[in-house]
Structure 1
Amino acid sequence: MPAKMIETRLADLGLALPEAAAPSFNYVPVTVHRGVAYVSGQMPKVDGEVRVFGKVGAEVDLETAREQARICVLQGLACLKAALGDLDRIERVLKVNGYVASAPGFNGQPKVLDAASDLLVEVFAEAGMHARAAVGVAELPRNAAVEIEMIVAVRDE
């Protein structure tokens, strides 16, 4: 496999990884155990801050929520790069859990999370296909619209 294949693919898609966000509370962004990396819930931060606030289906429209989901994935990949040293160590995306702050009656959580899933498949091809949960919630930290956590299989160094 060519060196830095995943980062090259990101660049080809016109995407850049943000700086991995430092945790604000008592947790670590990524833990790795027995070949599996668990990525803590990622907020859609731009330049270190959540910029879109509220519930999807009220203050936040579907397309904006989908973009927020993509930002969460990029944050997660930045955390994985910081933890693993190289995104090419990711063998497969196993599972994505997505949480969508939802207004009463909004049931488009799968459509929001499809943006995250689509991005992972664009970046990792078949290895980006994953199991998933798309969950509507009443509130998220920092009044964010979307939060995403990921589980990935990791190759040895």
Structure 2
Amino acid sequence: MIEEKIKSLEITLPNPPTPAGSYIPAVKTGNLLFISGQIPMENGKVLFTGKVSDDNLETAQKSARMCAINLLAQMKRELGNLDRVARIVRLSGFVNSDPEFYQHPKVINAASDLFFEIFGDKGKHSRIAMGVACLPLNSMTEIDAIIEFSE
């Protein structure tokens, strides 16, 4: 059902990105899945790079949406079936922003809104959205997630 919803939104899940450092992409403990930070990467290439400012807010939102799509790809790899997602518990969103940029929530909303659209009430989550001085591979955004899943 969830994967049909994703297809109806014309989203194709990519192969989940591999870690760029000394960590694993996800950890399951109990009925929680902790997914490491995802950047807007596809086929080994970062799609959105550079500092976020008021001038490129829409591009930054596309970057955050791509991070969410990579989070979905990691969920699918770990759970096998996205219908096992019981709840999106929390997102932590990081924005590679100019010092004068203050619209971090508007950037990360693109990821939050996608999860609301796909999962409905199960997609409602707690969240943090913050600006940072830089991100790995000069990515515009990075988002990690905590997911509750069912057996």
Give the counterpart of 1:79 among 64, 74, 81.
74
1:117-145 alpha-carbon deviations (Å, 9 max, x no partner): 00000000011000000010000000001
CA contact (8 A) 2:17 2:42 kept: no
Where does structure 1 lack aligned partners over 5 or more consecutive residues? none
Q: 2:149 maps to which residue?
A: 154
How far apart are 1:28 and its partner, in Å?
0.9
The answer to whether structure 1 residue 34 and structure 2 residue 30 are counterparts is yes
Aligned-pair identity (%): 41
| Cα distance in 2, alignment partners of residues 21 and 53 from structure 1 | 16
Secondary structure of 2:143's aligned partner: strand
What TM-score, normalized to structure 2?
Answer: 0.97
- Matched positions, count: 151
1:34-89 alpha-carbon deviations (Å, 9 max, x no partner): 1000000001012221022111017x700000000000011011011111111111
Secondary structure of 2:90's aligned partner: strand
| Cα distance in 1, alignment partners of residues 89 and 112 from structure 2 | 11
Give the counterpart of 1:119 among 114, 131, 143.
114
1:118 aligned partner, one-letter code? D
| Cα distance in 2, alignment partners of residues 107 and 69 from structure 1 | 16
| Cα distance in 1, alignment partners of residues 76 and 24 from structure 2 | 14
| Cα distance in 1, alignment partners of residues 136 and 20 from structure 2 | 11
Once the two structures are superposed, the pairs formed by residues 82-93 of structure 1 within 5 Å of their partners are: 82-93=77-88
| Cα distance in 2, alignment partners of residues 92 and 34 from structure 1 | 14
Greater shift, 97-106 or 60-69, is seen at 60-69
Please tell me the root mean square deviation across aligned C-alpha atoms, in Å.
1.1
Where does structure 2 lack aligned partners over 5 or more consecutive residues? none
The answer to whether structure 1 residue 17 and structure 2 residue 21 are counterparts is no
Q: 1:104 maps to which residue?
A: 99
Moved >2 Å (runs of 4+): none
Secondary structure of 1:92's aligned partner: strand
